[in-house]
Amino acid sequence: RKLAEDVILNQNQGESGNEATEALLEFSVQERERLDALKKGGGAANQKNREEAAAWRSKPIQERLTYSLVKGIPTYIEADTEEARQQLPFALNVIEGPLMKGMNVVGDLFGSGKMFLPQVIKSARVMKRAVAYLLPFMQDEKEKALAESNEEASKDSYAGKVLLATVKGDVHDIGKNIVGVVLGCNNYKVIDLGVMCSCHDILDRAVKENVDVIGLSGLITPSLDEMVDVAKEMKHRGLKIPLLIGGATTS
């Protein structure tokens, strides 16, 4: 009850501003795991789970990354991400390959009802940490590619211009941010409006910047209605800009 009250009343959030939220998420995951263990046989199942938890560090890198993402464990994510980076040509390949494979498993479990929203949010935060670790490497690789091409003008010539935004009423942006990173590494200019963006703000900025694509993100169910409203307003304004939608609410 105390954990729930802290989140509802937005208190005891600490210096990070989300300590109470993290505590409630951690409790919900632990409680679910405890109940699952009881259903599977109590003490014997708990011992088996502990043995499995200890053994996963010896598995191949893909399985370790997937385990960290599915379980929401940040402890080893940077070390494992570095190991994967050493095995692949470019840092971006780590995101597009092993990390996305792991997140696909999270998506499948969520879609089948075997994972719930608090667990998915923890998984997304681990993914965010892995991407943050890779960012400096991706920036260095991009600058080296520009230098080797001897095309100074290419710094201002993009493959396209994309506007990204989380729609009004929604504050979730981890997936959107990852999309922005991947697009940026593929030489797209990304205009990120952030979260809680109104329909008119999104479309006004899209017209002002003359973007090639509008990308809308959202996690909660009402966000899908907001996306529909944006599409209707685009039709009303006669805009022909391609519209991409993504996030848990869309699937």
Query: Which residues are known to be catalytic?
Result: 170, 172, 223
Angle in degrees, CA 37, 43, 47, rounded to 5: 85
Identity of the residue numbered 180: G
Helices (H), the chain: 2-8, 19-40, 43-55, 61-71, 77-87, 91-94, 100-111, 117-149, 174-185, 199-209, 222-237
Q: Residue 134 in contact with residue 90, Cβ under 8 Å?
A: no
Q: Residue 233 in contact with residue 203, Cβ under 8 Å?
A: yes
